[in-house]
Each structure stands twice: as C-alpha cells, then as structure tokens.
Amino acid sequence: MLAAAPQYQQPHSVPRRLCNVPKAQASGAGGPEAEAGNALLSKLGALAAGAAIFFGGYTTGIASSSMVADVRTAESHRQEITAPAPASLPVKPVSLALPDQAAKETVQAAQQAGLAADELSTIRVFQANTPSVVNVTNIRAMQSYYSMDVERIPAGTGSGFVWDRQGHVVTNFHVIKGASEVKVTLLDQSTYSAKVVGFDPDKDVAVLQLDMPEEARAALQPVSLGSSTGLMVGQRVYAIGNPFGLDHTLTQGIISGLGRELSTGLYPIKNVIQTDAAINPGNSGGVLLDSKGNLIGINTAIADPTGKGSSSGVGFAIPIDTVKGLVGQILQYGRVMRPSLGVVIAPPQALQRIGEKGVLVLDVTPGSPAERAGLRPTSRNAAGDLILGDIITSVDGAPVASARDLLEQLDAKRVGDKVVVDVLRGGRQRLSFSLLLADRVLGSGTE
C-alpha cells in the first residue's frame, strides 16, 4: 500500500483518494506498452520500462490513501449547458419541482417554522434531488476457506444517481470495480440488480442498467443535468451521497477551486471541481449540485494526507460536461471510443539515454493510421545495428515531450479527426504526416 504524500506532486495535481467505503490497494504491474517495450528493447539493448502502480482490489472498511502513477497498467481498460451565476446574497428560495406530497409538506412545515430563506433553499434542493440518488453495493464471489463453497460477499458501497427513466444509473468506476454482482438501492429502500453497461476507468465513470419492471422505471426521477462551464469559485454547492453507509446524507460548501487535475492512469481527468463540501468514503459516485439543484459534478475523490479516510475539506468532483460525453458514448457503443495513431511507444528511458525529447515509436500496428501515413518503428538493419524509429515531437502544433503529452493531445480528439503529426527521423530529418485517427482497441497497448 502506498501512503499518499501530503504535498502536491505537480500544479493542480493531488494525491488521489477513493471515496467509496472499501479499501483501495496498490499493486505493481507493467503496462502493455511497458511489456512490448521490454520485449523489443531487451533485444535492442535498450533499457526496460518501469513498473506501474494501480488500484487493485478492496475489502470492507475505510480506504487508506494511495497514489496512482501516470503509467497505464496491464489491466487498465480504455473505454466525456451555461452554468448559473453564483447565488447572490441574501439567498432567495429557488423554485424546484418537488418529488411528492411528503416533500411539499416538509417545505411547508419549514416555512411555518420560520426558517431563513437560505435554509428553505437548501431544504428544497435536498427534497427535489434525494429521489435521484441511489446506494450502490459491490458484491463479490469469494470461496470459503473452510467449506470451499463460493459465497457472495458485499465488498463495499458507494453512491450513484439516476440518469434517465430507462433505468440507467451513473456512478464511479472504482465503486463497482471487481464486482461479480452490483445491487442498487433506491430512496424507498427497494433494491434491484444492475448490469454494467460500460465504463471508463481513466475518467472513473461507469454506467449501470437496473433490472426492474417497466412500471418501476417510469417512476424513476432522473437528476437534473446542469453544466460545469462557467462555474465560479465561491458559488454554493451541495453534495448528496451515502458516506459510511449513511444513506442520502446532505453536505454543503462552496467551489474552492477550478481546473484541477486528477490522475487515474495515463489519461488525466481535466477541469476537476474542488469543493469544501464534506466528502467521505461512500460519497463516491454521488451528486454535486449547484444552488438551483442542477448536477454539476460527480463526487469522486478527497485529499487525505492523514490516511484516516475522512474529509479534509478538500474534495474533488468530475465535471458534468465531461461525464455527459462519456455516458453518451457508453450508452451508444457500450464503451468509450478513444482515438489512436496506432503506434506502440517506447519507455521514456529510451530517449533520456540519448538526450532527445518526444515520444519514440517502438512499433507500428499493421493497418493503422500510422502505418498508412508512413511512420517508422524502431528496428535493426542487416548488420544488426539499432535504428531508432520516428520520434513524435508534436501533434497539430502542440509540443509532445512525453507520453503524457501525446495522450493528452489524443484525449482531446475524436475518432475520425484529421491530425498532423511532426516527427524527428534519424536524428536530423523533420517530417510531418497527416492522418485520420482510428478507434483504439481496448488493451491493445497502442496509442
């Protein structure tokens, strides 16, 4: 288990902290590129790639802090409307469609009790959105040590929310990772089995399909989608989730920062929202709402330098504008389509040794955009001398100094986009290639 460092590793980058109840474990593994690189570079006399660190399985209990290295692991899979102005002071009650008569009576009772306007506003937001928030239970099949029988054990719980009336629920990937079965409990305590429709581990998003009768689906209350564009530091936000198994808990705070970055692999989550609203283990997958009750983010992580698994006042939410695109692709294709050049990249040590910046092409996938464009892989000549492949130095004019830079450039593109790739060949010749990005096959080890 890696202990999270209390300090930041880079600007706007934080020690990542899983917010579901189970414990996250860190393990070492080499990524597909590292394996390919080791195999070929060992023959070419180059350095081997280093091991990557990733989140492994987890058990019940509070998670301890872990850091995720920015290197893809062998088991990593590759699968993103104008924001309201910040609430003015004093806060005026907002008009929200309340879910049922009981909720209306609650607000009426609050009004009769003479509560302040901002208190009434908070109550309205909670009452209107509580039916949309669900409890997600990760169940794993485990073999008994004594009887050898296979038992189904709840491995942990997290939060999620209703996306539409077709029975789709959105949550964090780490909440359902490794589950043999997923159970979802609604506000009325009815529980349904859920099938995993698709997920994106790098962006920590998963979509579930509830197995429920048609009439029950019609009664679902989807969350009201907002936008993470135009948010401002200081505006009020609310978090609803199931921290420590305490269902439908409301906390409030403000947006403490914008444009943060979380790293779950080689593809970082950009424009993450930072909030001081209390987020604890079990809040993962829950909603972050603006003062009008619109969804602006998915609560996913906390900075926890103590390792005690409790809120430090620094929580992070995936912006809803990113989530919309990811969920849309998952519902349409069953996965997230990642654009690819079709190259296997060498470990960074290969270029460090010769003092060049960029990304060395180790191999080129047959039939890929890179092969059709004419990019050259690393090889040996007839005399056995090592011939370095093309070194990618920029994509569409944006400098590429590392694998992370390359992946960030690709992550901003879509399958079918035309890009211009600049390379250094033979240490002297600079060339440009125009190619159409293809769909990246999961687990292929290519970029």
Active centre residues (catalytic): 174, 204, 284
Question: What's the one-letter identity of residue 357?
Answer: K
Residue 228: partners with Cβ closer than 8 Å, 6 or more residues away: 83, 271, 273, 296, 297, 319, 320, 321, 322
Task: Return the DSSP state at 212.
Answer: -
Instruction: Compute how many other C-beta atoms are within 10 angstroms of the C-beta atom of residue 185.
Output: 17
Alpha-helix residue ranges (DSSP H) falling in 237-339: 320-333
Report the C-alpha gap between 272 and 368 in whole angstroms: 33
Is the Cβ–Cβ distance between 377 and 363 less than 8 Å?
yes
Whole-number Å distance between alpha carbons of 281 and 301: 9
d(CA 322, CA 127): 26
Structure tokens at 157: 């719980």
Rounded (10°) CA dihedral 164, 167, 172, 177: -160
Question: Which neighbouring-strand residues pair with 154?
Answer: 139
Nearest to 289 by CA among 130, 137, 171: 130
The burial of 168, by beta-carbon neighbours within 10 Å (0-12 exposed, 13-18 middle, 19 or more buried), is given as: buried
Both ends of the chain: CA-CA distance in Å? 29
**Dist CA 301 CA 280 (whole Å):** 8
With beta carbons less than 8 A apart as the criterion, state whether 358 and 439 touch. Answer: no
Give the single-character DSSP code of 2. Answer: P
What distance in Å separates the CA atoms of residue 65 and residue 1, rounded to the nearest whole number?
8
